[in-house]
Structure 1
Amino acid sequence: MNSHTTGSELLIDSSGKLYQGWVTTLASTIGLSLGPSVLLVFCFGTFITPLHKEFGWSIASISAGAMVISVMIMLTSIVQGRLVDRFGGRPMVLCSVPLLGLSFASLYFLPNNIWVFYAAWIVIAWCGLGAWPIAYLKLTGIWFERRLGLAFGVANAGIGIGAAILPPFAVYVITHYGWRNAYVALGLVAIAVTWPVAFFFLRDRKDSAPQKAQATAVLRGMDLKATWKTREMKTIVVAFSLLGAVTTSAIVHQSRVLIDLGMTPQAAGGLQATLGIALIFGRLCTGWLLDRIHASKIMAVLCTIAALALFGLGSGAPFDSAILCAAAVGFVVGAEFDVLSYIIPRYFGIKSFGAIYGVIFAAFQLFAALGIVAVGICRSTFGGYSQALFALAFLLIVCALCFKTLGAYRFASHEPEPAIAEPAVAG
């Protein structure tokens, strides 16, 4: 990023046209709402019951497919990050969206073989390689400086929008036309909407820069190897690994936690849906705050509040306060990827955004899978969630301390480009 961009980040630019950065951001929002994060993760659960009825597979066996997806997310994020840095986000999106949609629709032909089911998710995850969030986030980030946080918030809100819309759509199609047609409908909608939007509206800044020097300046920053020499990179990896373990396991087990506290299954399920909508606002609010308050302060406060919330749930919080505690955890979930998207260009520049994001996100996913399993084992061992919730609250306090140690941004808009050969250690 470079300072010459900061004067043109309003919705309407100086020429009276809609600023291309916001056009790309909105295109990214649509792409993420129909991307693999929603199709593979948020829509997965809607097919569990139909597949159980059709093939007689156990719920546990079908749910294991979600673990396959988690592993694939971890692997594809590393590969996609490097490819996006090398070839650009737009070509990756345009090539991957048709493959993603067609491979997802091909589940129409799923046979009565659980191993084919698992293999299908491996193929689909790799077919959608370029459509995972990294490509959209880098394309968004290179257009902004002063409104970087808000832009990331708007783009990331797409996942929340998709999570609120696509699962009910899938349920409707399953109910009226069957689960096989639901896979086809979701896959074709992803292609029919996402690909034209990406082709006409998704733009890389270097394709629009009037001068080659400007395009080069936009992509300044550190490479992945150089970031590992900094204390900030190590701290961020630790913080987001812990966040993965805490927030993912808390959300996955949240319905059961609330039921244990006396909430009916229907009410607990309804709260989960409500929190999906809340994530949209959480991401937008966090994005707006990031442009005004240092990310370390925002996350330190949110992690501390969520830690208190988890401690309250573990202590048997009364019904009304349990809802507030669950909402507090949900707000952290809405904030975490806004913050990750924002701090990478602020501390390391935009040049290797994809590779850096991919590595951190892979660590997040790895610890997310471990956290889900660990909390489940704890529930089975102790007959309740209290011990696990106390442990998760402690980890959030550690996260808050990690964020507090992060110093000033290296690539803030008012600062000159720092020397990369000898990265400074923020105190």
Structure 2
Amino acid sequence: MKTDIDIHAATACAGRRRPHYAWIVAGVSFVAILGAAGFRAVPSVMMTPLHTEFGWSHATIGAAMSVNMVLFGVTAPFAAALMDRFGVRPILTGALLLIAAGTGVGVLMTASWQMMLLWGLLVGLGTGSISMGFVATVSTRWFVARRGLVTGVLTAASATGQLIFLPVVAEVTDRVGWRWASMIVTAAALAVIPLVLLFIRDRPGDIGVTAYGGDPGASGEPLPNGSFGAAASGLLRGARVPAFWLLAGSFAICGMTTNGLIGTHFIPAAHDHGMPTTLAASLLATVGIFDVAGTIFSGWLTDRVDARILLVVYYLGRGASLLVLPALLSPDAGPSTWVFIVFYGLDWVATVPPTIAICRSWFGPSTPVVFGWVFAAHQVGAAVAAFGAGHIRDADGSYDLAFYVAAGLCVVAALLCGALRMPRRSHVPVGAAVG
């Protein structure tokens, strides 16, 4: 017969084998971000079909994507505050429903203003609620140890969505039209909702546990009251610190050179050089493959290396790759094109973990809301590039100038990150502040 001590030991052993609930929350959050990322595959693939069917210019389609990207960013700090007040599950569920409505009803659109309303407004609000502010909320509430790694993994979820959806959307668009491809995104957003309702919890204390790696005796970090006032106060708090503006400026350039330029215009730019849309989409999806590896590795590095050094290296490398891109585009994907794709994938959003790390060193528990505003700058930059690159293409018949301007801006971003200083109270490496 087993003694009470034996039973207690067996129970403790089983408890050690059971994963911490923080990893379940992180896993479902990954899937939610992945499902929301389906729309990120849409604009670049569908730009040429929409231009062909409706006669809308590249700038007009880019303008709709600009509305989407601005809302994608500006929504983030308010969504983080609302998640604190009303809970993560209802906000996350509502966001997925908005994405499904925008893409589903979007198959009926016949005028550009309808695209602005559906793909711009509705999808922008939905995707903005499941963006970097959400990543910062999950990593800050649920993790003390491995926070940088988790930030990298959740950030990579968007790229994983791109990896999954881009080839599918491109193939379906090529075979049966863009409307069927749009419905795939709708179905993906709806499919995630049951998982969110079943497994997402707001804070570790809701289920009687502490954050992963946290002190069992700790009550958890105090977070700002969830409200629009909290989001506004987060902006005011950040605006008083020079580091906020340096991060926001560099992150705006990050948005210009990723979502705004390459994410929206790579496929039509490659098509201008005679490359088939399906091949260009496969290349962009490959960016997503290496983005996953690059972002996770960046999160690992952020736990160990000065985040400022990482950002300077990332931006300079990105600028160099953009400078040579116009010479690499051709009807076929040669070895040099693949080198660009691999490098750009590794660098795509590798900037996110070190940016959050620096933000956390300055703003502590307020990081989700303050970083939401830094991310808003990222999306404003993306919006400028989405419209600006389309305008350059309409005016010059080529994207080359857009790539050269973006390369120069990456040097500016590196200089901004090099000028960052850390708060005096920080006596540990920048990366260690988030690990």
* TM-score relative to the length of structure 2: 0.76
Tell me: CA distance 1:264–1:381, structure 2 relative to 1, closer, same or farther (3 Å): same
Q: Could you tell me how far apart the structure 1 residues matched to 2:141 and 2:194 are?
A: 22
Q: Could you tell me how far apart the structure 2 residues matched to 1:162 and 1:50 are?
A: 22
After superposition, residues 4-403 of structure 1 pair within 5 angstroms as: 15-35=16-36, 38-48=37-47, 56-58=54-56, 60=58, 61-108=60-107, 110-121=108-119, 122-126=121-125, 130-170=129-169, 180-192=179-191, 194-203=192-201, 204-209=203-208, 214-217=218-221, 219=223, 223-251=234-262, 252-254=264-266, 264-265=275-276, 268-313=280-325, 320-321=335-336, 323-350=338-365, 352-376=366-390, 388-403=402-417
- My pick for the range that moved more, 216-225 or 86-95, is 216-225
- My pick for the range that moved more, 357-366 or 220-229, is 220-229
Q: Residue by residue, what CA displacement relative to the aligned partner does 1:118-172 show, whole Å, maximum 9, x if unpaired?
A: 3223234335664344224412332223311110111122111211212444456
Tell me: CA distance 1:13–1:59, structure 2 relative to 1, closer, same or farther (3 Å): farther
C-alpha contact 1:77 1:134 (8 A) present in aligned 2: yes
C-alpha contact 2:284 2:341 (8 A) present in aligned 1: no
C-alpha contact 1:77 1:358 (8 A) present in aligned 2: yes
Alignment gaps of 5+ in structure 2: 1-12, 211-215, 226-232, 430-435
Task: Output the amino acid matched with 1:287.
Answer: G
- My pick for the range that moved more, 234-243 or 214-223, is 214-223
Task: Output the amino acid matched with 1:31.
Answer: A
C-alpha contact 2:167 2:282 (8 A) present in aligned 1: no
- My pick for the range that moved more, 331-340 or 154-163, is 331-340
C-alpha contact 2:79 2:129 (8 A) present in aligned 1: yes
Q: Could you tell me how far apart the structure 2 residues matched to 1:411 and 1:73 are?
A: 33
Q: Could you tell me how far apart the structure 2 residues matched to 1:220 and 1:413 are?
A: 25
Note the C-alpha offset of 1:287: 1.3
Give the root-mean-square deviation of aligned CA atoms: 3.9
- My pick for the range that moved more, 207-216 or 90-99, is 207-216
Q: Could you tell me how far apart the structure 2 residues matched to 1:320 and 1:150 are?
A: 31
Q: Could you tell me how far apart the structure 2 residues matched to 1:342 and 1:390 are?
A: 30
Note the C-alpha offset of 1:373: 4.1
* Secondary structure class of the residue paired with 2:221: helix
Tell me: CA distance 1:143–1:382, structure 2 relative to 1, closer, same or farther (3 Å): same
Q: Could you tell me how far apart the structure 1 residues matched to 2:223 and 2:217 are?
A: 10
Tell me: CA distance 1:115–1:308, structure 2 relative to 1, closer, same or farther (3 Å): closer
Note the C-alpha offset of 1:366: 1.6
Note the C-alpha offset of 1:45: 4.2
C-alpha contact 1:378 1:387 (8 A) present in aligned 2: yes
C-alpha contact 1:349 1:411 (8 A) present in aligned 2: no
Q: Residue by residue, what CA displacement relative to the aligned partner does 1:257-312 show, whole Å, maximum 9, x if unpaired?
A: 6678x784565554223212221111111111111112111111122222233344
C-alpha contact 2:65 2:386 (8 A) present in aligned 1: no
Tell me: CA distance 1:280–1:413, structure 2 relative to 1, closer, same or farther (3 Å): farther
Q: Could you tell me how far apart the structure 1 residues matched to 2:145 and 2:19 are?
A: 17
Tell me: CA distance 1:127–1:272, structure 2 relative to 1, closer, same or farther (3 Å): closer
Q: Could you tell me how far apart the structure 2 residues matched to 1:413 and 1:21 are?
A: 28
Query: Which residue in 2 is equivalent to 1:423?
Result: none
Q: Residue by residue, what CA displacement relative to the aligned partner does 1:97-117 show, whole Å, maximum 9, x if unpaired?
A: 344434533335x15344333
C-alpha contact 1:146 1:413 (8 A) present in aligned 2: no
Note the C-alpha offset of 1:29: 0.8
| Identity percentage of aligned residues | 24
C-alpha contact 1:348 1:411 (8 A) present in aligned 2: no
Aligned pair partner of 1:407 in 399, 411, 421: 421
C-alpha contact 1:173 1:182 (8 A) present in aligned 2: yes
C-alpha contact 1:241 1:367 (8 A) present in aligned 2: yes
* Secondary structure class of the residue paired with 2:142: coil
Query: Which residue in 2 is equivalent to 1:3?
Result: none
Note the C-alpha offset of 1:328: 3.1
Tell me: CA distance 1:130–1:111, structure 2 relative to 1, closer, same or farther (3 Å): closer
Note the C-alpha offset of 1:236: 0.8
Alignment gaps of 5+ in structure 1: 1-11, 416-427
* Secondary structure class of the residue paired with 1:131: coil
Q: Residue by residue, what CA displacement relative to the aligned partner does 1:208-253 show, whole Å, maximum 9, x if unpaired?
A: 3558983443548994433322221121112112222334454144
Tell me: CA distance 1:322–1:302, structure 2 relative to 1, closer, same or farther (3 Å): same
Note the C-alpha offset of 1:33: 0.5
Query: Which residue in 2 is equivalent to 1:9?
Result: none
Q: Could you tell me how far apart the structure 1 residues matched to 2:126 and 2:33 are?
A: 16
* Secondary structure class of the residue paired with 1:43: helix
C-alpha contact 2:64 2:115 (8 A) present in aligned 1: yes
* TM-score relative to the length of structure 1: 0.77
